[in-house]
Structure formats: structure tokens, C-alpha cells
Amino acid sequence: MTGSESLSRGAGQYGKLLGAVGISVAEECEDEGENRYFDAFKGKIELRESLP
């Protein structure tokens, strides 16, 4: 709609960038518009598993 080109790094590279700043990816999925989305949180996987 805007005429701007979409710029995506791809799922794998985003995962690496997130990990480098202390964000862990809990889940990667795709919506009905074929957008990849990341459900992530700040901290290590063990942190989320320890939460109620």
C-alpha cells in the first residue's frame, strides 16, 4: 500500500539477534497472512519455565 519494499532478515537471523540481547524465542508461528511471528521473552528459557 505504501510502495515501500518489505525488508526481512528471515526467521533464523532474527532469532540470533534476539539471543544476542538476552531475549529467548519461546515459539515461532505463522499467521493467516503468512507473516512469521515470534513469541519471545527477556531472559533464558529456564526463567519462563520457573514462572507460575
Total Cβ atoms within 10 A of residue 32: 5
**15 three-class SS:** helix
> Which of the residues 9 through 48 are near another protein (CB under 8 A)?
9-11, 13-14, 17-18, 21-23, 29-43, 47-48
CB of 47 to another protein, least distance (A): 6
CA–CA separation, 10 and 13 (whole Å): 6
Rg (CA), the chain: 14
CB of 28 to another protein, least distance (A): 9
- Which chain residues interact with another protein by CB under 8 A? 1-11, 13-14, 17-18, 21-23, 29-43, 47-48, 51
